[in-house]
Amino acid sequence: MNVAIRYFSKLGHTKDIAMAMAEELGVKAISIVDEPSLAEAYDLLFLGGAPYANIMDSKLSHYAKELDPTKVKKVILFTTSNWSRRTVYALRKTLKEKGIEVEKEYFYAHMLNIKNRIPEAKKFVRKFVSGE
């Protein structure tokens, strides 16, 4: 199974979760700032972000809007925040409108609890990607 992990992170919390997921799956986690569009096609894309004053960064919303539906079979979302899950809801809406399948489960970590949530983040991704 061809898996990608992409994220947008300003303060590093979402990045920490993405890196843990990447370590578990043996793939790279890449910031959408460094790679603004997918270079190849994937079966599964883990996509993460966070809210800043209630909305995700425009780079991430742009990334979702421009995501090529022929390059991803399914997206699984993850987010970190102080309380809001809004990033997940907004990304899900955009992706579904584009005809991209989005897994109903998503991973959430509170910004003050990132370290403790690392094992759960790893377990979460492993559930969707069988060991090969």
Ligand X SMILES: Cc1cc2nc3c(=O)[nH]c(=O)nc-3n(C[C@H](O)[C@H](O)[C@H](O)COP(=O)(O)O)c2cc1C
* Residues making contact with ligand X (CB under 6 A): 9-15, 50-54, 80-84, 111
Taking the complex as a whole, the smallest distance from the CB of residue 9 to ligand X amounts, in Å, to: 3
Q: Output 37 or 113, the one with its CB closest to ligand X.
A: 113
Q: Output 34 or 40, the one with its CB closest to ligand X.
A: 34
Q: Which run of H or E residues covers position 116? A: helix 114-128
Give the whole-angstrom CA distance, residue 113 versus residue 106.
17
Q: Output 42 or 108, the one with its CB closest to ligand X.
A: 108
Extract the runs of DSSP E, i.e. beta strands, from 26-122.
Answer: 29-31, 42-49, 51-52, 55-56, 72-81, 101-102, 107-110
Taking the complex as a whole, the smallest distance from the CB of residue 20 to ligand X amounts, in Å, to: 13
